[in-house]
Amino acid sequence: MLEKYAQEIERLKELSPGEAMVDDILHNLQDHPGHLSTRLSLGNAFYTYCMLDAAVDVFRDIIKDHPDAALAYYHLGTTYYRMGQLKNAITMLEKCSGLNQNIAMAQYWLGVAYYHRGEKARAQKCFLELLKKCPESRMAYYHLAIIALAKSDHKKSILYLEKLLQIDKEDTAALFHLATAYMNTHQTTNALATLKRLLDLDPKDSRARSLMDLMQSSV
C-alpha cells in the first residue's frame, strides 16, 4: 500500500520532519496496510500539508475498497472544497450524509459549498439541519444570518445574530452585521449601542467607526 504513494510519502516526510503523528501513521500502515482509520489518517496528513492531489487519491482508493465508508466521502468532499471543486465537493458530502447522518460537519461544508455556488436556499437548508444536530453552532447562525441579509430579511438576520451573540458575546463580525441589520430596520438606538459594544472590543475597527459616524451625523 505504501509503495503506491512512495513519492508522496517522501515529500510528506520532508514537510513534516520529526512529526510523531506522521511517523505513527506510516509505521501502522507498514504493519496493517488495509486498516481503514489509518488510511484515513494518511489522507488527512496529505491534506494537512496541502498535498491535496495525494489526499484525493487516498480517499478515492478507500472508497473503492469500502464504498460505505462515510468518513472517506466526508474527507474527500472537504478536500475537493479546498481545491475549489465545489460540484465534486457537494457530490461527496451528499453521499456522506446519505450514509451517516450523524456526521454533522458534513452539513456545514455542504452549506458553505452551496453558498459559494450561489445556491442560497440549499445552503440555508444545510445550516438549519446543522443546528438540529449542533444547537450551539456559531457558524450555522452566522451563515444563516448572512443568507438572510442577502435576501434583505433583516428581522430574521437579527434573530440569528442575537442567538449567535448569546453564545459568544465578543464576536465582532456578528456585532457589525447586527448593527447593520438594526440600521436597516430603523432601530437606530440598538444599532448605535451595538456599534459601541463592537468598538469597546476593537477600537480600531474602521468599518464600525465609519458606520457609527454616519449614523450619528444623521441623527
Domain CATH number, residue 12: 1.25.40.10
Cell 447562525 belongs to which residue? 141
Rounded-to-integer distance, Cα 127 and Cα 121, Å: 10
Same domain, 151 and 171: no
Give the tens place of pLDDT for each residue, 103-112. Answer: 999 999 999 9
DSSP annotation of 3: G
Phi, psi of 50, rounded to the nearest 5 degrees: 60, 30
Q: Give the pLDDT confidence score for residue 192 in this predicted structure.
A: 95
Question: Using CA of residue 119, residue 124, residue 130, residue 132, what is the dihedral sign?
Answer: negative
pLDDT tens-digit profile of 21-38?
Answer: 888 898 888 888 888 999
Q: What is the pLDDT of residue 154?
A: 94
How far is residue 5's CA from residue 54's CA, in Å, rounded to a whole number?
8
Residue written as grid cell 472544497? 81
Q: Which domain holds residue 88?
A: 2-155
Reading the block at residue 143, the C-alpha cell is 451563515
CA distances from 173 to 151, 160, 194 (A): 19, 13, 11
**Do 65 and 135 belong together in one domain?**
yes
- So what's the pLDDT on residue 34? 84
Q: Residue range 193-217: average pLDDT? A: 93
Give residue-wise pLDDT tens across range 53-86.
Answer: 999 999 999 999 999 999 999 999 999 999 999 9
188 and 144, same domain (yes or no): no
pLDDT digits (tens, 9 = 90+) for 103-147: 999 999 999 999 999 999 999 999 999 999 999 999 999 999 999
**Half-sphere CA count of 206, side-chain side, radius 13 A:** 0
Last residue of a domain, one of 105, 131, 155: 155
The residue written with cell numbers 513519492 in the block is 7
Residue 16 has what DSSP assignment? Answer: S
Instruction: Please give the model's pTM, rounded to 2 decimal places.
Output: 0.88
Residue 218 has pLDDT above 80, yes or no: no
- Of 70, 86, 29, 76, the closest CA to residue 55 belongs to 76
Structural domain count of the chain: 2
Cell of 207: 468599518
Whether residue 111 is found in the same domain as residue 54: yes
Cα three-residue angle 119-135-171, rounded to 5 degrees: 80
